[in-house]
Amino acid sequence: MERTVRIGHSPDPDDAFMFYALTAGIVRIPGVRIEHVLEDIETLNRRSRTGELEVTAVSFATYLLIAEQYRMMDPGASMGKGYGPILVARRPIPAVEIEQHVVAIPGKHTTAALLLRIFVGDPPTIEVAFDKIPQAVLEGQADLGLLIHEGQITHQQMGLTKVLDLGEAWQRDSGLPLPLGVNVMRRDLGEDLHRALSQALRESIAWAHANVDEALEYAMRYGRGIDKETCRRFVLMYVNDFTLALGAEGRAAIERLFTLAHRRGFISAVPPIDPI
């Protein structure tokens, strides 16, 4: 009898690209039926707190809260290489003044929000669905917007100005990739299923890299109106070599992020980093 495993991931081009071979049945796990659950990342962050889904994408910032229940997968991480979330505004704002302005954030448990606290401090914030943030800034509901996903490369077309690039700030400080999102598996699934799930995701990512056009065609369904070349650029920014395997550099980056959060008093202890 097949076991059903629910995998939560966001309806975004990079996740769609990564999971396409699993979704299409090109990659299979014997004895396991995969059920895909599509939710935005902050909803998945919230759901992970109750351990509801067997496998889910979460922000690295949320892993700090759920490490007892969930284990990281080695494949599938979203890491920026000199790029990441950005702060935008209708007009230039000096970096030293950001903390005095209202920032629209995509969720308080996103890694973007954690990076804002690390690099900027504690500005007043409002939570807005990530794809509505540009509009919230343009309409004056917030002075600045913290953009994730493709907004990082399309903000200028919307008439917004980049004020601070948190990916660049991280790169300048650490020289390491920036850990943003990670896939996690419930610890009670056991080692054998952990290994099977991780291997299947790694094969799905490798298949997408080897068949970019077909996987991209599927990813475009979740592109929120962006053109194919913008979609390709965005997907290949975040489905990169660290997505196939964290490696020593990826693990060092995660350790640095968690250690920084601990030093700033945001968490009481650094959780286990034991990806499989």
Residues 129 and 246 occupy one common structural domain: no
Residues 44 and 109 occupy one common structural domain: no
Pairing of strands 103-105, 144-147: parallel
Q: For residue 66, tell me if it sits in a domain.
A: yes
> For position 33, what pLDDT does the model report?
94
59: containing domain: 3-80+179-263
More confident position, 216 or 204: 204
Domain boundary among 150, 174, 198: 174
Q: Where are the alpha helices (DSSP H) in 53-177?
A: 60-66, 111-119, 133-138, 151-154, 166-174
Residue identified by tokens 């939570």 is 127
> For position 221, what pLDDT does the model report?
84
Residues 238 and 186 occupy one common structural domain: yes
Q: For residue 270, tell me if it sits in a domain.
A: no
Which among 87, 216, 203, 70 is positioned nearest to 143, based on CA atoms? 87
| C-alpha Rg value of the chain to the nearest Å | 18
Residues 193 and 238 occupy one common structural domain: yes
Q: Does the pTM of the predicted model rise above 0.85?
A: yes
Residues 12 and 139 occupy one common structural domain: no
> For position 157, what pLDDT does the model report?
65
Residues recognised as catalytic:
149
More confident position, 253 or 150: 253
Question: Among 38-42, 188-192, 212-216, 223-227, which stretch is predicted with the lowest mean pLDDT?
Answer: 223-227
Residues 75 and 116 occupy one common structural domain: no
- The Cα–Cα gap between 57 and 182 comes to 6
- 149-180 pLDDT, tens digit per residue, is 665 566 666 778 889 999 999 999 999 999 99
Q: Where are the alpha helices (DSSP H) in the chain?
A: 13-23, 41-48, 60-66, 111-119, 133-138, 151-154, 166-174, 191-210, 212-219, 228-238, 241-244, 247-263
- 214-231 pLDDT, tens digit per residue, is 998 898 888 777 777 877
**How long, in residues, is the chain?**
276
Domain boundary among 174, 194, 222: 174
- 59-114 pLDDT, tens digit per residue, is 999 999 999 999 999 999 999 888 889 999 999 998 889 999 999 999 999 999 99
> For position 251, what pLDDT does the model report?
97
Positive/negative CA dihedral, 183, 236, 217, 180: positive
- Token pair recorded at residue 200: 């299947």
Which CATH number is 32's domain given? 3.40.190.10
> For position 48, what pLDDT does the model report?
97
Residues 195 and 73 occupy one common structural domain: yes
Number of folded domains that form the chain: 2
Domain boundary among 174, 192, 215: 174
> For position 35, what pLDDT does the model report?
94
Half-sphere exposure of 270 (CA within 13 A, CB side): 13
